[in-house]
Amino acid sequence: MAIDMQPDAQMRWQRYQPGVNDFALMVATKNGSGSQTSNVVLIRSLFKMGIPVSGKNLFPSNIKGLPTWYTIRASKDGYTARRATTEVAVAFNQDTITEDIANIPHGGVLIANKDLKYRVNRPDITVYEVPVKDIMSRGEFPKDFADRIANMVYVGVCCHLFGIPLDIAYEALLDQFNRKEKPARMNFSAIQLSYDWAKEYLEKRDSFRFEPMNKTQGKILIEGNDAAALGALFGGVTFVAWYPITPSTSLVDNILNHLNLRKDGDGKNTVAIVQAEDELAAVGMIIGAGWAGARSMTATSGPGVSLMAEFTGLAYFAEIPTVIWDVTRMGPSTGLPTRTSQGDLLFLYTLSHGDTRHIVLLPSNAEECFEFGWKALDIAEQMQTPVFVMSDLDIGMNVWLSNPFQYPDTPINHGKTLNKEQLEAFLQEKGEWFRYRDYDADGVGYRTVPGTEHPGAAYFTRGTGHNDMAIYSERREDWLQNMQRLRNKFDTARHVVPGPVMRMSSESGEAEAIGIISFGSNDPAVHEAIEHMAAEGITADYMRIRALPFSQQVWDFIEAHDRVYVIENNFDGQLCQILRMESPLSRSNLVSLTLGDTLPMTALWIHQQIVQHEEVP
Amino acid sequence: MPNALGLERTDYKGATSTLCPGCGHDSISNQIISAAYDSDLPMWRVIKLSGIGCSSKTPAYFLKGSHGFNSVHGRMPSVATGATIANHDLIAIAVSGDGDTGSIGFGQFKHLIRRNVHMVYIVENNGVYGLTKGQFSATADEGQFLKYYGKNDLPPIDLCLEAIIGGATFVARSFSGDAKQVQTLLKAALRHRGTAVLDIISPCVTFNNSPDSTKSYPYGKENEIPLHEIELMAAGYVAAKQEITIPEYPAELVIEVEMHDGTFVRLKKLGEGHDPRNRAEAITLLERASRENLLLTGLIYYEEPRPTIGDTLSLTATPLARLEDSQIRPSREALDALMKQYM
């Protein structure tokens, strides 16, 4: 099956029916055929028409040849979650055309490449057949590019069928080619040819269409990994080490793309980027750099995090700031490298042997990828510990409609890092300085970095047992005191990390019977589901968790609701497990709703799950 | 007598060693202390790095005025890479062992050298795992017997050979029983730009010190063959070049190498001699030493420094760790301009 329809995805409810500016289009092509450019041109065109749009690339772990599906959703209401159904199928891949046709919902549209071999026995759908070769033969295209440019044929046909003005498509092309006219013109000539052909030979027989709106003004279109890269660069990252792994690779690629933001007056870089030999080395490097006073980070995915486990424990215990982005994909093991998942939550939270607990930030969208991109670096230095940021493939590699990013509203925070003068003042005031002594009763000590020109600045960093003077110790009192302080530090972190975001149904803020807890990329689907459910009379409050560890607000929310659905895109219900593990509440009212089916969550799935549970007596 | 920084030799000491009495590692720590004192090393600029194992404990036993980092087993090279790039003013001295470097950290060792991270990399090589009580390491002699583990059937890894093949530009082998040579090589290594590898045979008196082991004191004292006498000549020393004046050493037996800081390493060849500036000759020498079981010590290989990893990154002059906040956060206008591009 091409696009895996989630269970029971028929048009059960009116609110999920498609309409003008409210349907999804799916493009099926071969990976590596160059169709991505065409898809982005379609998305950009809708964006320029003022229609809220989102794109999801369901691609294989492959460079060339395997099938790939790209879904584009227009939503007049601004919903950006994956739509459960794709009403229009552009079937341009011989390998999948039969199943692509079979998957079109009742009332849908097929745009088929007539050059392929297929049979359509679907009287319930509208079929348009496009002779791609014939259309392309009407123009003159350089041989090397002809195959790629052929993908513009479906763009031209869609422009005609669904009402995308050609001048807008051209503008989108210009954007795509960085305002370079030559490639834009060459591609546009194919769009024009196919548009003209469609106008002459295709009679519009379906009701799907786009109409200009004004709902994207002031918005941007950006991928989460790009946003995260910008966040890090505006957050003053000075050292990046990494090892390529899908779906995190484009995060570091984008740091490199934006390196011009971080040049000094002589054109030299104020951030070092080192491609390591593996993730063991990548994390070792960022820990070494963080220890030496750099603001350091890496980006990886699950298998890379596995390799980083030992080193993460060292940084936790030796209290070294660094930031690790985990752009998650399907595990366990190699799993599905190009499919999305929220399966690393539990692992990140307790990564490494012994009693470890880590701060994990959970961005939901591009805006938060930017915000947490800079904030994570501050929190790491403030708390003197590794900070994880868990994004996922859906957020990271798909293009999102977003508000423009807000400039950091707080200055760069280096936490309790003493330079030469500050150390001197500290010694004058306290008469001593010991690295791990809890002077402020918040669990966070004062640190110096190597290269501090003061005879008292040095201390010995180690992963072995140590007392608060950073001296090796096997005494049980020292061990317990240290662990207790680390626990206190973790409690301090509860107030430092981004707190949950609430959506209360009643204007007075009074709690409904139903509560929903979720996080990360599920957010757009949860909002959409809440609005659709409300229209049916099912009202629910929603709390989106934005970080681990939890704050008191989380327990207050759970306590205030009769039933709390914990919605997540993994198989085991990992957030729910952490909630159950840590809950101070006596009653158990958590209901774990888990998906973990390789695809981004849809509102319909959430809606169906909750209705099903609510209907059970 | 205080050095140029007004510090006594005792100021360069560290905590009291907890290694076995007589351990070769302690004598190396002593030579590090002497070399640092003699070289007027500012301790605040020094970082001491290590992995895990007996050898890796030693950074606590020297240079108490320096930041130290006892990291994880075999992965110190990556920590050193990050730290030295974060602050290129730091003087990195790393201590590793044969288990740390030759086994669990072998990959990181090779990549450290490939990147030419600016640091002194000391391997305290005793052919045995001490902390876990006497297993063979990857540098143990082939055919050797040890009490609990029997015969070692595998050939040893030659860390100097690996370093040269990996692209190291300063590779030396020494014997911890040869204090003077260890100290001079350390001083030369501290003046080298790039990775300087010192593979120092450092006997484990508890688990691998019987005379038939090439990593033992008796064997080393009996069989060490220094390739040359090594002297470090102060900056300003006029290199003799061809006009050698020392009567007892014919000109062709004296080799002088100018170090990065302007000092010279002067090698007076002993025996048949060895020119460390010739890579092929260095490799041949090591292969012969391995074949004939010779403990050849001295500067095995040296070449003109090539760019370090830091040099290749086109970094700003100020160490990254010391940049002002205004230098690392782009302006509000820069963000606004960027956002327009995404609209």
* Interface contact A281-B78, CB threshold 8 A: yes
Pick from A239, A405, A458: which is nearest to B320 by CB? Answer: A239
pLDDT single digits (tens) B241-282:
444 445 555 666 788 888 888 888 989 888 777 889 999 999
- For residue B137, what is the domain's CATH number? 3.40.50.970
C-alpha angle B224-B228-B232 in degrees, rounded to nearest 5: 120
Residues 285-324 on A with a CB inside 8 Å of B are: 285-296, 310-311, 314, 318
Q: Whole-angstrom Cα distance, residue B23 to residue A584?
A: 54
- Do A69 and A86 belong together in one domain? yes
Residue A611, chain B, CB below 8 Å: the answer is no
Does residue A415 fall inside a structural domain?
no
The token duo for A215 is 């709902």
One-letter amino acid for residue B1 of the chain: M
Which chain A residues touch B59 with a CB distance below 8 Å?
Answer: 460
B212 within domain boundaries: yes
Q: Taking the CB of residue A483, how many other CB atoms lie within 10 A of it? A: 14
**CA of A460, closest CA in chain B: separation in Å?**
5
* Closest C-alpha among A272, A171, A589 to residue B87: A272
Please tell me the distance from the alpha carbon of residue B122 to that of residue B30, in angstroms, as a whole number: 14
Domain that holds residue A268: 222-402
| Whole-angstrom distance, CA of residue B226 vs CA of residue B306 | 27
Q: How far is B40 from A338, CA to CA, in rounded Å?
A: 56
Q: Which residues contact A294 (CB under 8 A, 6 or more apart)?
A: A238, A239, A272, B82, B85, B86, B87, B320, B321
Q: Please, what is the end-to-end C-alpha distance for chain B in angstroms?
A: 70
Q: Where are the alpha helices (DSSP H) in A62-142?
A: 97-102, 132-137
For A218, other C-beta atoms within 10 Å of its C-beta total 9
Those of residues 221-260 in A touching chain B at CB distance below 8 A are 221-222, 230, 233-239, 241, 258
pLDDT tens digit string along A369-401?
999 999 999 999 999 999 999 999 999 999 999
Same domain (yes/no): A213, A328: no
Does the residue A409 lie in any domain? no
Characterize A270-306 residue by residue with b for buried, 16 or more Cβ atoms within 10 angstroms of its Cβ, and e for exposed. bbbbbebbbbbbbbbbbbbbbbbbbbbbbbbbbbbbb
- Residue A81 maps to a domain: yes
Which residue is it, tokens 């759970």?
A558
- Assess whether A53 and A199 both reside in one domain: yes
Nearest Cα to A116, choosing from A73, A153, A160? A153
**H or E element that contains A184:** helix A181-201
Nearest CB neighbour to A274, from listed B65, B85, B317 = B85
Instruction: Give the pair of three-digit tokens for residue B93.
Output: 């001295």
A322's tokens = 């660094």
* Cα dihedral B46, B51, B56, B60 in deg (nearest 10): 40
- A119 lies in the same domain as A150: yes
Task: Domain count for chain A, please give it.
Answer: 4
Per DSSP, A329 falls in state: -
| Each residue's pLDDT tens digit, B116-129 | 999 999 999 999 99
Rounded-to-integer distance, Cα A554 and Cα A579, Å: 9
Indicate whether A453 and A391 sit together in one domain.
Answer: no
Residue B89 has a CB neighbour count (10 Å cut-off) of 12
Nearest by CB: A294 against B78, B321, B343: B321
CA distance A404 to A428: 47
The Cβ of residue A612 has, within 10 Å, a number of other Cβ atoms equal to 11
Is residue B329 assigned to a domain?
no
The residue whose two tokens read 């006498």 is: B229
Tokens of A493: 């972190």
Structure confidence at residue A5 (pLDDT)? 43
Beta bridge partners of B204: B208
Residues A167 and A236 in one domain: no
Which residues contact residue B257 at a Cβ distance below 8 angstroms, ignoring those fewer than 6 apart? B264, B265, B267, B276, B277, B299, B302
**Which of B56, B75, B117 would you mutate first to test chain A, the one with the most A CBs within 10 A?**
B75
* Close Cβ partners of B291 (under 8 Å, ≥ 6 residues apart): none
Same domain, A470 and A514: no
Cβ neighbour number for residue A308 with a 10 Å cutoff: 27
Q: What's A25-55 look like in SS3?
A: EEEEEECCCCHHHHHHHHHHHHHHCCCCEEE
φ, ψ (nearest 5 deg) of residue A157:
-65, -45
Q: Does A251 share its domain with A193?
A: no
Q: Are residues A251 and A343 in the same domain?
A: yes
Contact B323, B297 (CB under 8 A): no
What is the average pLDDT score of chain B? Answer: 93
Check if B131 contacts A (Cβ < 8 Å). no
Q: Is B143 on the interface with A (CB under 8 A)?
A: no
Mutate to test the interface with A, among B13, B111, B343 (most CBs of A within 10 A): B343
Q: Tell me the CATH number at A282.
A: 3.40.50.970
Answer yes or no: is B108 within a domain: yes
Q: Kindly state whether residues A125 and A180 are assigned to the same domain.
A: yes
Count of domains observed in chain B: 1
Comparing alpha-carbon positions, the chain B residue that sits nearest to A291 is: B83
B321: which 2 tokens?
């760790």
Q: Name the closest residue on chain A to residue B48, using Cα atoms.
A: A460
> For residue A69, which phi and psi values (nearest 5 degrees)?
-125, 135
Residue A426 Rama label (left phi>0; alpha psi -120 to 50; beta): alpha
Of B216, B220, B206, B202, nearest to B98 (Cα)? B202
Spans of chain A below 50 pLDDT: 1-11
The domain boundary, picked from A345, A367, A402, lies at A402
One domain for residues A487 and A560: no
**Where among A217, A251, A279 does a domain terminate?**
A217
Cβ neighbourhood burial of B150 (10 Å; 0-12, 13-18, 19+): exposed
Global pTM reads 0.96
Last residue of a domain, one of A373, A402, A431: A402
Residue A2 located in a structural domain = no
Chain B from 14 to 73: CB within 8 A of any A CB: 15, 42-45, 47, 59-60, 64-72
A492 domain-assigned: yes
What pLDDT score was predicted for residue B250? 64
Specify if A39 maps to a domain: yes
Give me the residue label for tokens 């086994």. B103
Structure confidence at residue B179 (pLDDT) = 97
C-alpha–C-alpha distance, residues A315 and A288, integer Å:
9
In 3D, which of A543, A515, A555, A592 has the Cα closest to residue A346?
A592
CATH number at residue A153: 3.40.920.10
> Measured between alpha carbons, how far is residue A286 from residues A292, A327, A342, A508, A544 in Å?
10, 17, 24, 47, 30
- Cβ atoms of A148 and A34 within 8 Å: the answer is yes
The residues pairing with B93 across neighbouring beta strands, listed in sequence order, are B48, B120
**Residue A329: inside a domain, yes or no?**
yes
Across the interface, whether the CB atoms of B328 and A295 are under 8 A apart is answered yes
Q: Give the β-pairing of B67-70 and A460-462.
A: parallel
CATH number for the domain spanning A571: value is 3.40.50.920
Q: What's the Cα-to-Cα distance from A371 to each of A270, A312, A516, A526, rounded to whole Å? A: 20, 23, 24, 21
Residue B136: inside a domain = yes
Which element (helix H / strand E) includes A567? strand A563-568
Which residue of B lies nearest to A317 if distances are taken between CA atoms?
B71
Which residue range is the domain that position B214 belongs to?
9-227+270-311
Distance CA A474, CA A465 (A): 6
Interface touch A404/B342, C-beta < 8 Å: yes
Shortest Cα distance from A294 to chain B (angstroms)? 4
- Type of residue at B69: F
Is the bond into A549 cis (omega within 30 degrees of 0)? yes
Which residues does chain B have with pLDDT short of 50? 241-245
Is the complex ipTM higher than 0.90? yes
Please, what is the Cα angle at A480 between A474 and A484, to 5 degrees?
145
Q: Within its chain, how far is the Cα of A373 from the centroid?
A: 12
- Residue B179 domain-assigned? yes
State how far the Cα of B195 lies from the Cα of A532, in Å rounded to an integer: 64
- Whole-angstrom CA distances from B91 to A270, B9, B97 are 21, 19, 20
Q: Do B257 and B302 touch, CB atoms closer than 8 A?
A: yes
A254 falls within a domain: yes
The dihedral region occupied by A56, where left means phi > 0, alpha psi between -120 and 50, and beta the remainder, is beta
Residues 6+ apart with CB under 8 A from A144: none
Hey, are the CB atoms on B44 and A454 less than 8 Å from each other?
Answer: yes
Q: Are residues A441 and A579 in the same domain?
A: no
Predicted local distance difference test score (pLDDT) of residue A551: 97
